[in-house]
Structure 1
Amino acid sequence: MTVAGIDWAPRPIGIEGDRERLSFIDGDVPLYPLPEWVWDDSVIGQCARRLRELHDASIGFGLDGAIWQSRAKVPAEVICHNDFAPHNLAFNGVAFVGAIDFDMCSPGPRLWDIAYLATRIVPLTGSTPDNAPGIHDARRRVELILRAYGSNATWNDVLRVAIVRLIDLAEISTEKAVELGKPHLRDEAEAYERDAQFLRTLRDAKGE
């Protein structure tokens, strides 16, 4: 990424034992419950533009023999971050300064990351924080993401992929709950499933 011109992601410094050392991203990462400024239109635009930069920088990356922690998706247009959302982004005030947690990257379609970002920052969820925009503003905010990213995708496309994305997350969380012995991941899986059902209802109500 550094060679491709991405200067806002951690750079590898070296290996110490079985751990990789990375450069530090100096900024504030918003924690849940997300602060009100996260919902600002300017933040949405910055995040979408940076996601486009990240995707474009990954084109041409050699995939032969690569091993990914996260399942690859098709079409493999770019390398997806797979968790590009406010809780993995650093800011100085409302200015984007960097992204972290690239360990779950894997090949996939651009819309896979775009739709997930939308679920978190629009947000496209069944229940929203009191300080977040309501679902009545969701379409405008999704279209803001698409314009800032430079995508030809539509509101319908984002809803369709977001539903698939949330179901995928629910399945992964259920698997990890058993594999890692962490029952709380089942609660996360149920939350993803509820949000997916909410988006189905939203889509069907609009006849889309």
Structure 2
Amino acid sequence: MEALSGGRESAIYRDGEVVYRPLQPWSATIHLILAHLEQANVKESPKFLGLNQGQEMLSFVAGNTYNYPLIGAIATDEALISAGKLLRKIHDSSVSFIEQLDVNAHPWMLAPREPFEVICHGDFTPYNVALLENTVVGVFDFDTAHPAPRIWDLAYSVYCWSPFKTDSNDKLGTIADQVARAKLFCDSYGATETQRAQLADAMVLRLQALVTFMRGEAERGNESFAENIEQGHLQAYLNDIVYITENKQKIKSSLGN
């Protein structure tokens, strides 16, 4: 078996076209989501294949994968446009699932947030997608999926893809470059004027929620999140909140159609 990167607490392995991942308290919920996406013909998401000795089996999402810094195919306009379109496809496909879902009857890694408009991926980022040349053709790691308004997912995705980041390894271009990429993502997603106007504030709220979540997990003894905080990831999010806040008007004025 081949070990894959991206595991939070335990190793993830691939054997041919099957990926083995450790079961989590929320795994059964995610399996329902993946089954719905499969029925909705969202071929870009992994398929739930079954369980095996405390592990879930998912189909392997083929393609080239990337991480920060964004260099090469992942940094192209084509990747950005296809990512925005795929996020919209996932959201639209989940509406019928949300309409028949008892949100409180299922466990979630990330807390559901009203209004429950769609199933948010929760971590739709450059490191959780697969590319064929310059086009995003797959997305994986749905552990963070949860019900929330569209803008909750859109905000975090735009933050990560623009990216509105200050860390020397993560940032890309100037603020002008970043708002141009943000607009391209919003255009590709089909964001409304209201969503565009709210986006900067939504990014700050989303990052604040992430910081609170990380601190809570570390306090509960989750070593993975404690290590992330020790490595400076939480401080990077705090720095990015300041950066987005300082550039709020520039972001807002640049995102209009």
Give the TM-score normalised by the residue count of structure 1. 0.91
Equivalent residues in 2 for 1:120-159, closer than 5 Å: 120-127=160-167, 129=169, 132-153=172-193, 155-159=196-200
- 2:38 is aligned to 2
Count of residue pairs brought into register by the alignment: 208
Work out whether residues 164 and 171 of structure 2, in 8 Å CA contact, stay in contact via their aligned partners in 1: no
Distance 1:94 1:199 in 2: 28
Question: CA offsets per residue over residues 112-170 of structure 1, 9 Å max, x none?
Answer: 11111111111112345598222112222222111111111454421110001111111
Task: Tell me the amino acid that sits aligned with residue 227 of structure 2.
Answer: H
Q: Structure 1 60/155 Cα, relative in aligned 2: closer, same or farther at 3 Å? A: closer
Question: CA offsets per residue over residues 86-123 of structure 1, 9 Å max, x none?
Answer: 11001122121200000111000111111111111111
Equivalent residues in 2 for 1:100-139, closer than 5 Å: 100-127=140-167, 129=169, 132-139=172-179
- 2:90 is aligned to 54
Q: Structure 1 184/124 Cα, relative in aligned 2: closer, same or farther at 3 Å? A: same
The answer to whether 1:184 aligns with 2:224 is: no
Work out whether residues 76 and 108 of structure 1, in 8 Å CA contact, stay in contact via their aligned partners in 2: yes
Question: CA offsets per residue over residues 13-49 of structure 1, 9 Å max, x none?
Answer: 1111221111111112102333233221111110000
The answer to whether 1:93 aligns with 2:133 is: yes
- 1:34 is aligned to 70
Which stretch has the larger CA shift, 169-178 or 52-61? 169-178
Distance 1:77 1:172 in 2: 22
Q: Which residue, 197, 203, 227 being the options, matches 1:162? A: 203
Question: How large is the Cα RMSD of the aligned pairs?
Answer: 2.1
Q: Structure 1 184/156 Cα, relative in aligned 2: closer, same or farther at 3 Å? A: farther
Q: Structure 1 28/75 Cα, relative in aligned 2: closer, same or farther at 3 Å? A: same
Structure 2 residues not aligned, in runs of 5+: 1-36
Cα displacement (A) at 1:207:
9.1
Distance 1:135 1:142 in 2: 10
Work out whether residues 69 and 169 of structure 2, in 8 Å CA contact, stay in contact via their aligned partners in 1: yes
Cα displacement (A) at 1:79:
0.3
Q: Secondary structure at the match of 2:213?
A: helix
The answer to whether 1:63 aligns with 2:105 is: no
Distance 1:68 1:21 in 2: 19
Structure 1 residues not aligned, in runs of 5+: none
Work out whether residues 199 and 252 of structure 2, in 8 Å CA contact, stay in contact via their aligned partners in 1: no
Task: Tell me the amino acid that sits aligned with residue 176 of structure 2.
Answer: H
Sequence identity (%): 28
Q: Which residue, 174, 178, 185 being the options, matches 2:215? A: 174
Q: Structure 1 135/206 Cα, relative in aligned 2: closer, same or farther at 3 Å? A: closer
The answer to whether 1:80 aligns with 2:126 is: no
Cα displacement (A) at 1:66:
2.4
Cα displacement (A) at 1:202:
1.1
Question: CA offsets per residue over residues 162-182 of structure 1, 9 Å max, x none?
Answer: 001111111111122222134
Give the TM-score normalised by the residue count of structure 2. 0.75
Q: Which runs of 4+ in 1 moved over 6 A?
A: 205-208
Q: Structure 1 38/133 Cα, relative in aligned 2: closer, same or farther at 3 Å? A: farther
Distance 1:207 1:3 in 2: 37
Q: Structure 1 29/156 Cα, relative in aligned 2: closer, same or farther at 3 Å? A: same
